[in-house]
Structure 1
Amino acid sequence: MAVPHIQLSVAVILLLVLLSGCNARIHKLRLENETRFAIDLNNFGFFANGFLKVSLSSLWLNDTVNYSIYLVGFSLSRSRVNGVLSYTAEETEACPPTKTTNDEPLILFLIDSKHLLVNVSAMGVQDNFLIAKAKSDEPKEKKKVTKRAADDSNGEPGKSDTNQDDDKEIPGGQEKVPPANEKSNPVEDAKKPEETTFLLNNSVNPILALDKRNGLYNFSFRLVIGPKDQGLYSLKFHYCRNKMAGVKLPYALTLDVVEKNPGSFLSAAEIPLSRLYICMAGVFFAAAMVWVYTLMKHRYSVFKIHWLMAALAFTKSTSLVFHSINYHFINIEGHPIEGWAVMYYITHLLKGALLFITLALIGTGWAFVKYILSDKEKKIFMIVIPLQVLANVAYIIIESTEEGYSEYYLWKEILFLVDLICCGAILFPVVWSIRHLQEASSTDGKAAMNLEKLKLFRHYYVMIVCYIYFTRIIAILLKITMPFQWQWCYEFLVEVSTLIFFVLTGYKFRPASNNPYLQLPLDEEDVEMDEVVTESGALEGISKVKKTSNGRERQKEPTL
């Protein structure tokens, strides 16, 4: 079919346009004329000694508004239990920075543009270290008290923080954390502003410096995760003026975010994925080789659909290989290598197309018992294949777009909806085949064989429903209830269920003489073929000759 070629062309165009701006775990976000009062920047699972570095630059605000009243800033919330984030859908309708008391682990960075400062508030139990430039006009005695409190809380002598860079040792005997993608430059290091380390808790509310140049605000901070505070974090930007005043004023900002765990740029739940994908690629490849061996062994019972099933298995294996390579480079570089990412997306496109085409063709009985698709079946392909193209386009855009952009959520909803429509559409050919076999088993002389085929199609229908239900619903529910570091099990369950589904489908429709789906009638021609022959008026009166079991020829009466 020409559909995979169409998908390949669309993929190449999109990848060239989108991947150039994809930065994966090193995020670069630029928003202009933005009016949203809350922007979800990213979710990331941190282990102990992981760090979050945020650099806000070119923040433009309407100077006619008093932003010390209409709060603007960041919120960093940690998951309550396991992987469920702190703010539910109802809570996001409110403006979180306006909350003054909260027992949940939450850190607020509230920007006061009038006094050029950033107020930091830590709520709940905190064990994190904040490294940032403190407000210059803050009394020195207060700084010393803050540093002494940080040292005393860990039971170790104090360390000087006045000229502390990102790669210096932090208080409390924590492990050294090198800065991400930064090279040492003595000249630039000498120009760096003095930074202070704060141990965040309820009694310490640091005040950070806010710079203003040419009407644009900027500041940065670095948060090191403590041993007791590892978990799944959600970083958001809030512009509460548009929520509280009810009038949407535009604003603009440029944001650089670096998230890193010890030795890895991947989130805690993503670190095992590279090894998982390469192992599953080997399993799918082994299954594909076994399938090819079966086809060669029973070559006289092989149909075209069997080779299409083999192509699907090999494409799935190749897609997992490139997926593993893609995660490997994100793990060590913080961003994908564009060439490997392009190869992964191309194989992902082909795998998605082959999967739905193969499932639909098996459901219609194509190549096994007939070589002609009915008009209803052709319409299914005309619907499913374009929707698959749209789903793959949405997937590429989601993977190549920062979460903070408004388009991200639009394409995410499109992907979810289109995927469900495709999964539902491929069930129709199976239902039609079951209905046809039910009618045929009561009208012709091959009731026993049709009942065997009917049983097989019913099993296939149940298999598809279970596969869709598990991978789209059950696995997602398991993901949100697992601890944050075990959420990679979601991908493991999806891949294992896909492997089981492929193996069961191959076993049910294997090329073998004892497969009821592939057995040919022994007495008379299929009822469907008789209907096809007699539908045309030009073929009326044509009789067919067939040899009987004793070798004599028997003439079948023409159907009028």
Structure 2
Amino acid sequence: MAISRGSGVAFILLAVALVASFRPSAAEIRVTEVRSDGRTIIPFYEFGFTHTGILELNVSGISLSDPSTDIDLSQLGFFLSTRDAWIHVLQQLQELDITCALQSSLVKLVYSFDQLNNPNPNPSGLSIPRSSAFGAVFSQSEPGQYTLVFANCLPRLRVSMSVRSAMYNVDPRTGRRAYLSVGAAALPLIYFLLFLAYAALAAGWVAVLLRKRRAAFRIHYFMLAVVVLKALNLLCEAEDKSYIERTGSAHGWDVLFYIFSFLKGISLFTLIVLIGTGWSFLKPYLQDRDKKVLMVVIPLQVVANIAQVAIDESGPYARDWVTWKQVFLLVDVVCCCAVLFPIVWSIKNLREAARTDGKAAVNLMKLTLFRQYYVVVICYIYFTRVVVYALVTITSYRYLWTSIVAGEIATLAFYIFTGYKFRPEVHNPYFVIDDEEEEAAAEALKLDDEFEL
């Protein structure tokens, strides 16, 4: 490759340092700093409550910017709302049935600022309540997926405050707190079982490499590294979710999760590009255009991982949260499209070689394999980016874990398919075929001209 070993290691270390430089997520116990924010609605975090759900809300450092002292503090406050209820609240606002979301009977009012003492003006023009902090405990007896929202129904008023929220469900039998949303309660066990599956897959791949050592290429060992990184990523995610469920905080496991997620994402896309170009299978080198694809995909994956960390850290209350979501989606789609080009180029080259170099049968077998891999990559990308997202939107909040399971099973199937098709086998039809297969393949070559990408 064009990148030297030393510069490649330095690049990976730099990217890992960038990912690790973000402040670890506070998980389901979150502390949010709002500074001079004039938005009418500030969404904070979603959580799936059972009938024994609890919200602990602590707000400090409240500061309201307004030159006048006559402020209706009942127009400021926190509430809980489901998505369906919020749609009806918007309709009420449009029809002028209400003038503030806090007035709707469809939301769960947690705390309004009129419960604070009267404001006390100061020379700087700030109107600060005498009690600039409060704590509230709200019991949620109606199960559902709720979003904690702050409403500011006073035009041109800016609010600054520090918000600490803790949302959890209480087990009525043991009294134990579960800080994971009800739809994510099964994730620690699911991720651990997936870790065991990938660990078994890695052990099986090691056995294959030892047994077929003479037929193994460098890319087969790279496949092993990708599987190991995926297994470590799942292990860290299982520990991360387990700690969050018990304590509400990740205790540093989220940093390891981000690091292995970053390495796994880059290595997977790099593997697809290398297989698509035939590196180590067909030729021990990369062409200039193949190197350019790698030079595009790897930096984009760095950006995508940093964007993902920023999304997880900021939450929906951040002003640029939607922008970050769009950037991450765009970069992810670009990466998915870029990895398809090497496969298309390999198919094109094999089709041309099948007609000119006298080895039509061998090239046709390789062409068939690359066609299959091309279709599988497209199906994998479509399923994990489109179908899984659709499952998230249509699935009940209690079964949100099913979309994660679907995506992980698709990924596991993709790993197994890739390993099986490109396994280190001396008599793999991808490398060697006999005379009878050559004649049959030559006849099939006539029909293959009808295939178009």
Secondary structure at 2:182 match in 1 = coil
Q: Cα deviation per residue 1:394-415 (whole Å; 9 max; x = unaligned)?
A: 2222233344222443333222
- Equivalent position of 1:64 in the other structure: 67
Return closer, same or farther for 1:99/1:256 CA change in 2, 3 Å cut-off.
closer
- C-alpha distance in 2 between matches for 1:100 and 1:237: 9
Shift of 1:455: 1.1
TM-score by length of 2: 0.84
Q: Cα deviation per residue 1:345-365 (whole Å; 9 max; x = unaligned)?
A: 221121111111111100000
- C-alpha distance in 2 between matches for 1:370 and 1:480: 45
- Equivalent position of 1:254 in the other structure: 162
Q: Cα deviation per residue 1:279-306 (whole Å; 9 max; x = unaligned)?
A: 1000011011111211222222110001
Return closer, same or farther for 1:241/1:457 CA change in 2, 3 Å cut-off.
same
- Partner of residue 32 from structure 2, selected from 25, 29, 44: 29
Work out whether residues 276 and 342 of structure 2, in 8 Å CA contact, stay in contact via their aligned partners in 1: yes
Return closer, same or farther for 1:89/1:12 CA change in 2, 3 Å cut-off.
farther
- Alpha-carbon RMSD across the aligned residues, in angstroms, is 2.8
- Partner of residue 288 from structure 1, selected from 174, 192, 202: 202
- C-alpha distance in 2 between matches for 1:426 and 1:273: 30
- C-alpha distance in 1 between matches for 2:135 and 2:321: 25
Shift of 1:512: 1.4
- Equivalent position of 1:240 in the other structure: 153
- C-alpha distance in 1 between matches for 2:299 and 2:93: 36
Q: In the alignment, does 2:325 pair up with 1:412?
A: yes
Larger CA Rg, structure 1 vs 2: 1
- C-alpha distance in 2 between matches for 1:236 and 1:438: 58
Secondary structure at 1:442 match in 2 = helix
Q: In the alignment, does 2:139 pair up with 1:224?
A: yes
- Equivalent position of 1:159 in the other structure: none
- Equivalent position of 2:374 in the other structure: 461
Q: Cα deviation per residue 1:232-275 (whole Å; 9 max; x = unaligned)?
A: 00111122334xxxxx4533122111101122111111211111
Work out whether residues 8 and 350 of structure 1, in 8 Å CA contact, stay in contact via their aligned partners in 2: no
- Equivalent position of 1:323 in the other structure: 237
- Equivalent position of 2:248 in the other structure: 334
Secondary structure at 1:61 match in 2 = strand
User: Comparing both chains, which one has the higher relative contact order based on Cα–Cα distances under 8 Å and sequence gaps of 6 or more?
Assistant: 1
Return closer, same or farther for 1:382/1:109 CA change in 2, 3 Å cut-off.
same
Work out whether residues 354 and 360 of structure 2, in 8 Å CA contact, stay in contact via their aligned partners in 1: yes
Which has a greater percent of helix?
Answer: 2
Shift of 1:110: 7.4
- Partner of residue 443 from structure 1, selected from 347, 350, 356: 356
Return closer, same or farther for 1:271/1:445 CA change in 2, 3 Å cut-off.
same
Aligned positions, number: 413
Work out whether residues 446 and 521 of structure 1, in 8 Å CA contact, stay in contact via their aligned partners in 2: no
- C-alpha distance in 2 between matches for 1:210 and 1:521: 89
- C-alpha distance in 2 between matches for 1:310 and 1:396: 26
Return closer, same or farther for 1:69/1:393 CA change in 2, 3 Å cut-off.
closer
Shift of 1:211: 6.7
| Residue identity in the other structure for 1:15 | A
- C-alpha distance in 1 between matches for 2:90 and 2:368: 48
| Residue identity in the other structure for 1:71 | Q
- C-alpha distance in 2 between matches for 1:3 and 1:93: 56
- Partner of residue 79 from structure 2, selected from 75, 80, 85: 75
Q: In the alignment, does 2:16 pair up with 1:11?
A: yes
- Partner of residue 398 from structure 1, selected from 301, 306, 311: 311
Q: Cα deviation per residue 1:413-440 (whole Å; 9 max; x = unaligned)?
A: 2222111111111001011111111212
- Partner of residue 263 from structure 2, selected from 350, 358, 362: 350
| Residue identity in the other structure for 1:50 | G
Secondary structure at 1:371 match in 2 = coil
- Equivalent position of 1:164 in the other structure: none
- Equivalent position of 2:183 in the other structure: 269
- C-alpha distance in 1 between matches for 2:79 and 2:92: 12
- C-alpha distance in 2 between matches for 1:445 and 1:298: 30
- Equivalent position of 1:485 in the other structure: 398
- Equivalent position of 1:538 in the other structure: none
Shift of 1:371: 1.5
| Residue identity in the other structure for 2:47 | F
Return closer, same or farther for 1:256/1:212 CA change in 2, 3 Å cut-off.
farther
- C-alpha distance in 2 between matches for 1:219 and 1:420: 44
- Equivalent position of 1:46 in the other structure: 49
- C-alpha distance in 2 between matches for 1:447 and 1:388: 38
Work out whether residues 18 and 397 of structure 1, in 8 Å CA contact, stay in contact via their aligned partners in 2: no
Shift of 1:521: 11
Work out whether residues 93 and 100 of structure 2, in 8 Å CA contact, stay in contact via their aligned partners in 1: no
Return closer, same or farther for 1:390/1:521 CA change in 2, 3 Å cut-off.
farther
| Residue identity in the other structure for 2:429 | P
Q: Cα deviation per residue 1:478-521 (whole Å; 9 max; x = unaligned)?
A: 12211111101111111111000000011111111332333399
- Equivalent position of 1:525 in the other structure: none
Please identify, of 397-406 and 440-449, the stretch whose mean Cα deviation from structure 2 is larger: 397-406
Work out whether residues 274 and 324 of structure 1, in 8 Å CA contact, stay in contact via their aligned partners in 2: yes
| Residue identity in the other structure for 2:226 | L
- C-alpha distance in 2 between matches for 1:63 and 1:93: 24
Q: Cα deviation per residue 1:451-481 (whole Å; 9 max; x = unaligned)?
A: 1111111110111111111111101111221
